[in-house]
A and B are shown apart, each in its own frame.
Chain A
């Protein structure tokens, strides 16, 4: 199985400041079709998970543009340009290139 490793595991951030989360996979996430299936999921307190970004950098419907994704191969990053109170929660990267799909351990974003 592909192992996904996130850093940091906790990220205290001041409101209005940026936040960045890294995700590394144990092997390349480039699929045989040439696409790279790395997504980011947000889990806010008391709510079900929600897709933020798929295929490295495509924001899902309704996701604010302060969220952006980047990376290639085995190294990926989620950035929040200016953290808002509603962004508090746990963020997971997930690979969909190979079954079983696997998640990172999660990064908790909280306000300082």
Chain B
């Protein structure tokens, strides 16, 4: 059974940093692209970042490029999202998601990031 377990979400002040983690199990982690998707209050879903099998290729949505960094540790079956220079509009539930056939086929339960002073 595929499981994705996010952690690291919390309340942080504007300009602060946070690191999200996602621990994966139930599939060969190193064989799949992975991504982070967020759902801000009152808004729709947004793909934040994606990373290739070996970490050699990464994609970011424009609004986070230069502030967020996606990474992975295949030995630990783990995905990460380093978030710097956080802004109020980064407030959202962040989901770790496994790439399937050019779609997200499995999602974690999500972790809440709240940016506020």
Contact = CB atoms under 8 A, between A and B. Distances in A.
Interface residue range, chain B = 20 to 34
B61 interface: yes
Contacts of A43: 39, 45
Given A99-B59, A100-B59, A48 B103 contact: no
Interface residues of A, number: 27
Q: Which of B39, B95, B103, B105 has the most CB of A within 10 A?
A: B103
Interface in B70-85: none
Given A54-B101, A96-B102, A48 B46 contact: no
Contacts of A54: 100-103, 105
Given A92-B45, A101-B50, A106-B45, A49 B102 contact: no
A48 B109 contact: yes
Given A41-B45, A48-B110, A49-B37, A99 B50 contact: yes
Interface string B15-51: 0000000000000000000010101000011110010
Given A54-B101, A99-B50, A48 B45 contact: no
A49 B100 contact: no
Q: Which 3 A-B pairs have the closest CB atoms?
A: A96-B102, A37-B102, A39-B103
13 contacts: A31-B102, A43-B45, A48-B107, A49-B39, A51-B104, A54-B101, A54-B105, A55-B103, A100-B59, A100-B60, A103-B47, A106-B44, A106-B45
Interface of A: 1, 31, 35, 37, 39, 41, 43, 48-51, 54-55, 60, 90, 92, 94, 96-97, 99-106
